[in-house]
Amino acid sequence: MFHYIKSIVKREIKGYFNSPVAYVFIVIFLILCGFFTFNVSNFYEARIADLRAFFVWHPWLFLFLIPSIAMRLWAEERRSGTIEILLTLPVTTGQAVIAKFIAAWIFVGIALALTFPLVITVFYLGNPDVGAIITGYLGSFFLAGAYLSIGSFTSALTRNQVIAFILAVVFCLFLVLAGWPPVTSALSKFASAGFINFVAALSFMPHFESMQRGVIDSRDIIYYLSVIAFMLFANTAVLNSRKSG
């Protein structure tokens, strides 16, 4: 079983780097990270040796870049007809979903790792909090995983990659803004306090911001893993329903 999952992971990663998609994504990600960190957040002018100016933009960069990667996970398989071949391998649909997700998550992890010059820069400028940098990257990695799981789910809903992309962006945007005061105050006009608190608790941002402060709380890790597990379960259910249909 694990042999076939490993084979799918290898196939997916190889597929990324055999096409321009991976290189375009990485280049755009690195350029945007540098632009927002140095030009928009005025990294040097702040005279603070930390990476908060770098991490603060990740929810917004991921909002468009991650769905652009995830949209092809199943939509392309369905469009090209290779999904039938993939699902005839001696693995369950759930195992195939997990394998493709892991491959995409590894790819995004590689893109994050390539931002290491920023880490070198802050160490050159001062004595940053190493713990905050580590938890910051960890938070970004888990946030990317949550975005990917949502994108994988929306990709399974349609064979049209553009539709999959738009659905993922809308879904992720909702989870980013769920706890935002203007959203909660708008909901307060017609919803109960309990419902508003429930919606706010779904937001990515409190968990992401907690890890950017250098705090590793098991509740934040459990939250992200729960989102990922639920979306992959839904992803599997959609594919199984289409297969049986």
- Chain-centroid distance, C-alpha 197: 24
Look at residue 102 in the predicted model and tell me its pLDDT: 95
- The pLDDT value recorded for residue 229 is 97
Between CA 87 and CA 45 the distance in angstroms is 54
Torsion from C-alpha of 162, 36, 121, 216, nearest 10 degrees: -70
- Token readout for 229 is 């597990």
Q: What is the pTM of this model?
A: 0.90
Token match 């042999």: residue? 3
Among the listed residues 157, 150, 155, the one whose alpha carbon sits nearest the alpha carbon of residue 171:
150
Query: HEC states along the chain?
Result: CHHHHHHHHHHHHHHHHCCHHHHHHHHHHHHHHHHHHHHHCCHHHHCCCCCHHHHCCHHHHHHHHHHHHHCHHHHHHHHHCHHHHHHCCCCCHHHHHHHHHHHHHHHHHHHHHCCHHHHHHHHHHCCCCHHHHHHHHHHHHHHHHHHHHHHHHHHHHCCCHHHHHHHHHHHHHHHHHCCCHHHHHHHCCCCCHHHHHHHHHCCCHHHHHHHHCCCCCHHHHHHHHHHHHHHHHHHHHHHHHHHHC
Reference 6, options 84, 144, 98, 77; nearest CA is 98
Q: pLDDT truncated to tens, each residue of the chain (245 aa)? A: 677 788 889 888 888 888 888 899 999 999 999 999 888 887 777 677 788 889 999 999 999 999 999 988 887 766 666 666 666 667 788 888 999 999 999 999 999 999 999 999 888 888 888 888 999 999 999 999 999 999 999 999 988 889 999 999 999 999 998 877 777 777 777 777 777 788 778 889 888 988 988 888 899 999 999 999 999 999 999 988 876 55
Answer yes or no: are the C-beta atoms of 111 and 65 closer than 8 Å. no
